[in-house]
Chains A and B, each alone.
Chain A
Amino acid sequence: MVQVSLAHFLVVGALLFSFGMVTVATRRNAVGVLMGVELILNGANVNFVAFNHYVVGGVSGQVFALFVIVLAAAEAAVGLAIVLAIFQTFKTIDVRFADLMRE
């Protein structure tokens, strides 16, 4: 039997982060981008929990993870509001067209 160790968790966290990053970087759909952000945050959560369990002990890591989940919920709300505003402005939620920052 393979003993589940910290390394495994860290690999899962890293994968989640990478997938999230790739999603954010490549998705054209603004909602997809927001979903990618969620993946990144959750990759970080895995790390918090794993380090808390294997290295530090106590509950501070778990609490941090909970904060991140709450923060992610708030972020999703703001992000979706921005997506709505983008839609109203550009009649689309494709992020390629939201390039007004170039001006």
Chain B
Amino acid sequence: MEHAIVEHAPALEHAARELGRIAVTHVSWLWLIPVFPAVGAFVNAVIGWKLQKVLGKRAVHYIAVGAMIASFVTACVAFARLLQLPAEQRFLQDTLWNLLTAGRLSVNLGFALDPLSMTMVLIITGIGALIHVFSIGYMADEPSYWRFFSYLNLFVFAMLLLVMGDNFAMMFFGWEGVGLASYLLIAFWYTDPEKAAAGMKAFVVNRFGDFGFLAGLLLLFWGLGGAWAPDQGALPDYRPVPALNAVAGAVTAEQADALAPRVEEIKLGPTMNFRELRDQIVVEKTGVAEHLAHQEIWGVSLLALIGMLLFVGAMGKSAQIPLYVWLPDAMAGPTPVSALIHAATMVTAGVYMVARLNFVYALSPSAMGWVALIGALTALFAASIGFFQYDIKKVLAYSTVSQLGFMFIGVGVGAYWAGTYHLLTHAFFKATLFLGSGSVILGCHHEQDMRKMGGLARYMPITRWTYLLACMAIAGFPWMNGFYSKDEILWKAFTSGHLALFGTPTPWLGPVIYAIGIVAATGTAFYMYRSYYMTFTGEYRGGAGHHDEHNEDPHSATATAMSHTSVLVHASDGAVHADGSDLGHGAPAHGAHGHVPAAAAHAVPDDAHAGGHGHGATPHESPWTITFVLATLALGSFVTLFLGIPKAWSGVEPVLERWLSPALSAEVSFVEKPHELELLFQAIGVGIAFVGWFAARALFKDARSEVPTRFRERFSALWTLVYNKYYVDELYAAVILRPTIGIARLASRFDGTVIDGLVNLAGAIGRFLGWIDAKIDQYVVDGAVNAVASATIGFGRAIRHVQTGRIQTYLYGALGGALVVVLLNFLIS
């Protein structure tokens, strides 16, 4: 399988941080990791419906979950292989074949695992596998079960391409692939126009981001190769040769390789490959970093522009201001999808990309400042919206947006490992929260409104405890993982003195971001505990006649669709579970039998429910596939804290930082501050978590406090503003959508009148010419032909009278002829 180590780093061991080439270990089985889910997706897509019909749903999820487990196991093998290697040489490469070669550009279908992508792969396959298991219970009533699992596997495949691809082309392919899977899964229940629209919204908003991503990518490519000038910043070793720009005749990868100029065996010039890019930027001798730093476009530093544009791509994928609007709407998808795609993995793709390109961002303080600032603003902004939401999934959605903001603060200020660590911890606790909310939604018969929950702690103990643990993690208590990542990020933000905005150094930006982050973190603790108390404490408020408040819900369309089913279902209060079986409920199943009068449906339980379970008003704990996953993830949220024990405590760098450091080679300097200050800041971090917790506890525990209601009445304007998400959607509708549609209409009208007019004119001219041609044909050509014919006919008709058939007439002829001959005879002679 494995044809061992080939290349070696040049022996440069003097620096504190080795800055040579990455030593590559070639292996030949990395492709298996993404292929398993691809096969699973393919099988379920093609024959899934048949399998489901013939062998039952079990066959479908065996395939899907089996693919995930196989992928996870392979990833673990790769992880073990990486651990065997010396820390600085942890880089597995598996190049399958050459995708395209054009001039100096050569793109391979290749996979690479370094500590960063390995971390991502473990998160994706590990948490992905758990969420697949969760889906078994959650989607049990879903008729198109196979479609769901096929999409889910497709997503994992695309996500693995995104993180494992060793070049931008593969990453972009995965980037779009996860967008597609996200779209398919958000609009999974596509018969509901609202959900279909949410899918489209996610897709379209991401297009804006992708535009930035592509533009940044192309600028980077151009900057590396296009604009080299002799002696401009390049070291004497490096003389740009024409071949660098040349599109000259390379058709194979080897030829393209041979064209590349090299410094110390490092390929220079435009490349799509992350490792080559990293090598030529990081190794100082190449002069590439210096060269890039001096380039400007229209007076703007090229690197800042690249960083900002790439971050626009991250804004779309990772739901940052101003492109975050799709993520809350994406909650229309099934809850496992929200957990896997819209919390744990896909939305972190932007963070991953920034961390992956750390060496590019590190060159541009402006780009970093920009990333960190946007992250901080998003963290605060989204947290504030989370205060007043009633839909449990919306709370979590805004919480996700907010946490992604924290990650961007981390990668923005240069604490790449901290951002990645928060990505990891967030994947655990947010997956727990989302799946917990899924369990709650399931237990409450597809009720998502927290006002109709309450008191669930009694009915759903496992869900309650895991949810509480995850709340502690996200709020930042030191006994769960969230504290360590969030605190590291905020501390690093505070000590970063190198940030800049638009080329102006702004040493004050770090503390400002810290302040914003602390406020956002307080809000986080508050709204998460609010959701916990509203959901799990007090009395159960579900049951009949509770849909009256939906009319004021900004998400009313979704909510109404939900309440429509729930009203019918809950109308028969007091009906008990037919057999107490713990099968899940898929919304379409409800839709199907929701129209049956509820009494009838419950009188004949076997009628509508193949599984033979009815609905009562009492919530119930979810099946073991769900609680097992919740418990595992909650445990993970605890265990992963050991990856990030801060240096201030233990004296050594955190495990994860050491693990990631070979991949995150960018050197960012932080201001040295005393240990005591760091400890103080950590105390502040814990303190604000308590503040948020106690505030939420005072206001929402057991739904006793009147304050929230009074607050709402007193500050109804503010409340409405925040409740309606600051009317950002409406703003976009007015500022972007309407003009766009207006332009589209204008263009349509232009098309309808001018373009169509021109086309019609051309058509009319053509028709006129054709008409003339037809006439010429009809009268001139046909006329000539007919004239010849009729002349022949007329002539024939004329001379046929000569042939009378009478001998005597012929005789006249003969006589006449003879006479002529005689006369001529006389005349001539």
Contacts and interface: CB of A to CB of B under 8 A. Distances in A.
Contacts of B808: 24-26, 95-96
B806 A25 contact: no
A96 B806 contact: yes
B805 A102 contact: yes
Interface in A24-42: 24-26
A98 B815 contact: no
Interface string A66-79: 00000000000000
B811 A99 contact: no
A102 B803 contact: yes
Contacts of B815: 21, 25
A100 B815 CA distance: 22
B97 interface: no
Interface in B774-819: 803-808, 811-812, 815
A25 B811 contact: yes
A103 B804 CA distance: 9
Contacts of B804: 99, 102
A55 interface: no
B805 A95 contact: no
A2 interface: no
Interface residues of B, number: 9
Nearest to B811: A25
B812 A99 contact: no
Interface string A8-30: 00000000000001001110000
Nearest to A21: B815
Interface residues of A, number: 12
A96 to B, nearest CB: 6
Contacts of B803: 102
Contacts of A96: 806, 808
Interface class of chain A by DSSP: helix
A101 B815 CA distance: 19
B117 to A, nearest CB: 103
Interface in B636-678: none
Contacts of B807: 95, 98, 101
A100 B805 CA distance: 6
Contact of B805 (A21, A24, A26, A103): A103
A103 B805 CA distance: 7
B805 A101 contact: yes
A98 B812 contact: no
A25 B815 CA distance: 9
A23 to B, nearest CB: 11
Contacts of A102: 803-806
Nearest to B803: A102
A75 to B, nearest CB: 15
B170 to A, nearest CB: 93
Contacts of A101: 805-807
A68 to B, nearest CB: 20
Contacts of A100: 805
A99 to B, nearest CB: 3
Contacts of B805: 98-103
Nearest to B801: A102
A40 to B, nearest CB: 11
B9 to A, nearest CB: 113
A4 to B, nearest CB: 27
Give the interface centre of B803, B806, B812, B815 by most chain A CB atoms within 10 Å: B806
A36 to B, nearest CB: 10
Interface string A83-102: 00000000000011011111
Nearest to A100: B805
A66 B805 CA distance: 34
Contacts of B806: 95-96, 98-99, 101-102
A99 B811 CA distance: 14
Interface in B682-730: none
Nearest to A101: B805
A25 B808 CA distance: 5
A103 B803 CA distance: 9
Contacts of A25: 808, 811-812, 815
Nearest to B806: A99
A58 B607 CA distance: 142
A95 B807 CA distance: 8
A24 B806 CA distance: 12
Give the interface centre of A25, A26, A95, A100 by most chain B CB atoms within 10 Å: A25
25 contacts: A21-B815, A24-B808, A24-B811, A25-B808, A25-B811, A25-B812, A25-B815, A26-B808, A95-B806, A95-B807, A95-B808, A96-B806, A96-B808, A98-B805, A98-B806, A98-B807, A99-B805, A99-B806, A100-B805, A101-B805, A101-B807, A102-B804, A102-B805, A102-B806, A103-B805
Given A24-B808, A95-B806, A103-B805, 14 more contacts: A21-B815, A24-B811, A25-B808, A25-B812, A26-B808, A95-B807, A95-B808, A96-B806, A99-B804, A100-B805, A101-B805, A101-B806, A102-B803, A102-B806
Q: Which 8 A-B pairs have the closest CB atoms?
A: A102-B805, A99-B805, A101-B805, A99-B806, A25-B811, A102-B803, A25-B808, A99-B804
